[in-house]
Amino acid sequence: MNIDELFKAPKFSAGGNKRKMPDNPTPEMLKKMKMDTGVAVVNPSTTNSSSNAKGKARATVEEVEDEDDAPSQDFAPGGDADYFAEEDDEGRFFGGGLTSEQKEILNIFDNAGESALQDTDELSVTGIRRTLLKFERAVHKNQDQRSKYPDDPTKFIESEADLDAAIKSLLPLAQVPTLAYPELIRSETVTVLIGLLSHENADIVIDTVEVIHELTDEEVGDEAEDDEDNLEALKTLIDALLENSILDLLVDNLKRLNEDDESDRQGVFHILGIFENILGFNPQLSTQLVSGTTMLPWLLQRIQSKEHNENRGYAAEILSILLQDNQPNRLELGKNDGIETLLKVLSQYRRKDPSDADETEFMENLFDTLCSALAEPSNKQLFVDAEGPDLMVLMIKEKLESKSRAIKTLDYAMSGPSGTVACGAFIEALGLKTLFSAFMGKAAKKAKASVTPPASEETSHILGIISSLFTNIASDTVERIRLLAKFIENDYEKVDKLLDIRDSALSRLKVTESEIATQKKELRAEGEEVTEEDEDRWYLQKSDGGLFTLQSVDYILAWIAMEDDGIRSHLLQMLNRKNQSLKDVVKTLRISHENADDESKDGELSQKVILEGLIGALDPENTGGTS
């Protein structure tokens, strides 16, 4: 006898864990009620039933004639002696016209309503304690039976069924966390529950992780309850789970479960859901999860599966969460060959798009993970060693869904002093032609609209890549000359493109500055002083409102104007047509200089020093005050 087959966990939809009863009773439901009560039940298709506010049943029945057009003797008034007895003192009609069978159906639903009231009582403190006591008894009984008859499953099969039901009885506790969770901890039932993660029967483990997944959901509790109280109860429960080594036990079960089986696949889904719940509540646990368990290798292995399903997508999402704002985990990814693994999996999207929205989200999570990892200099070197720049260039050429993500990845890889190696590898991979083709887009047409749209995210990342190339590629090198040549070819069309983007950014910035001026007036009218926090907030508002794009464009314009006389002459001519000059570019550079990082790493010039040099080259008469 196979015990695992007897206790398969129910299937769940990908949309979530919560089960809902249908709005109306189905024939199957009524058949079940018939079996439970021993009462004959008629076909529900001929009966419409509802209950009034006091719980007293009412019903209406369509008059149906049989094939011989003979009136049915089962219907009132002739067939129901209670037809007239159900009137009140004022003669109002309540429920006549029903057969005895139909009344039994209504009685069943009345009893179901009483059962619901009993369920509500179960969620009181007394009911919760009774539920927890039954659960612990079921656990101990099953342990005793298994220890006494380890080789005879027929001896403990009944206790296993009772344990299965007892575990599921804990699911409603998520509705009242402020009452239930303290009782779970006080009675040490949480320790007993965690102990079931080591149970011999995998289906008991799956039931357990489903319950823990539900109990740790951030939306636990009733909407009418105080969210702060619910969150405090959830925090207490999660702390208790961590004290009982839940992270290690969950990771051990990931290796134990076989996803070829539907029930085990659902178990893996619930385990990943628990990790998401816990990390969402306390992101600091990401480091502990990676350093203290084998979670990271499992995730890297799981995303390499050729068949895509919800658990593969979930694994990529968890991986992205683990690396977000977490330097130790990023470094650990590199040590586990994670950069090469990510590139290997992403390479499948070089020539084909994801098959659906879920797979698109999977691809995006992998790109986000890769971008997070590239914040570390050591991972940038691993990215180059694994030929990451080459793959990204090929993706840009194919112009599929992965194109914009590849551009973003290159921006991260080539930024900062540690991006010098990636910049060189990018040019060697013939990336300049591909990049500037994407930058120019389709045949450029002069915008007729008075208001041009903001630079897209893709364009912003292209500007970031070009800025990094000018910062990191050494002067008087072949690579530098090839980069400058791109701005000269085709009558300086790329310089004109930069100026178009600049005009758009300036228009947006004027609107943003007007909004900020209004906000300042409102503060002064209320007698409030402008604080440093307000200034920081307004700077971020301006950055999002066009300033960041303007700074990127003017940084590039400053480099090309300084290094090539032909570009400088063309730039001055185009700016003059708009009543502007290089002083407007210098003005933007000064804003960048005020907010630039002054730290230099590994002997490299800091961004502040670089900006000082550019300002001096474009405006030699007014270099004071920049240092």
Q: Which residue has the tokens 């009218």?
A: 525
Q: Tell me the pLDDT tens digit for each residue of 511-549.
A: 999 999 999 888 888 888 888 888 889 999 999 999 999
Model pLDDT, residue 529: 84
Q: 242 and 205 in one domain?
A: yes
Claim to verify: residue 99 and residue 132 sit in the same structural domain: no
Dihedral angle at the C-alpha atoms of 87, 91, 92, 97, nearest 10 degrees? 50
pLDDT at 218: 87
Supply the pLDDT for residue 116: 43
Q: Is 410 a member of any domain?
A: no
> Residue 50: which residues within 8 A CB-CB, separation 6 or more?
58, 59
Q: Do 581 and 529 share a domain, yes or no?
A: yes
> Is 330 inside any structural domain?
no
Q: How far apart are CA 348 and CA 308, in angstroms?
A: 12
Tokens of 159: 């206790």
Range of the domain at 581: 457-461+478-622
Q: pLDDT value at position 512?
A: 95
Q: 512 and 574, same structural domain?
A: yes
DSSP-derived letter for residue 530 is P
555 and 508 belong to one structural domain: yes
Using alpha carbons, select from 440, 433, 388 the residue that is nearest to residue 411: 388
Domain stops at, among 119, 142, 170: 119
Contact 438, 458 (CB under 8 A): yes
- pLDDT at position 221 is 73
Last residue of a domain, one of 119, 142, 168: 119
Establish if 399 belongs to a structural domain: no
pLDDT value for 571: 95
Does residue 534 sit in the same domain as residue 588? Answer: yes
Pair (235, 115) in one structural domain: no
Residue 196 lies in a domain: yes
Q: What pLDDT score does 229 carry?
A: 86
State the Cα–Cα distance between residues 238 and 278, nearest whole angstrom: 7
Q: Which residues pair with 255 in a beta bridge?
A: none
Judge if 542 and 488 occupy the same domain.
yes
> Are 115 and 133 members of one domain?
no
- Tokens for 405, please give them: 């993500």
Q: Which residue among 119, 154, 179 closes a domain?
A: 119
User: Is 143 contained in some domain?
Assistant: yes
164 and 76 within one domain: no
Any domain includes 352 = no
Is the dihedral angle over the CA atoms 156, 162, 168, 172 positive or is it negative?
Answer: negative
- For residue 310, being part of any structural domain is answered with no
Do 89 and 139 lie in one domain? The reply is: no
Q: What is the total count of domains within the chain?
A: 3
Do 216 and 237 contact (CB within 8 A), yes or no? Answer: yes
Same domain, 51 and 67: yes
CA atoms within 13 A on the CB side of 618: 29
Burial class of residue 342 (count of CB atoms within 10 Å of its CB; 0-12, 13-18, 19+): buried
The radius of gyration of the chain from alpha carbons, rounded to an integer in Å, stands at 35
Q: Phi first, then psi: what are they for 438, rounded to 5°?
A: -70, -35
The answer as to whether 598 is a domain residue is: yes
- Which residue positions in the chain have pLDDT lower than 70? 1-121, 222-226, 442-455, 600-603, 620-627
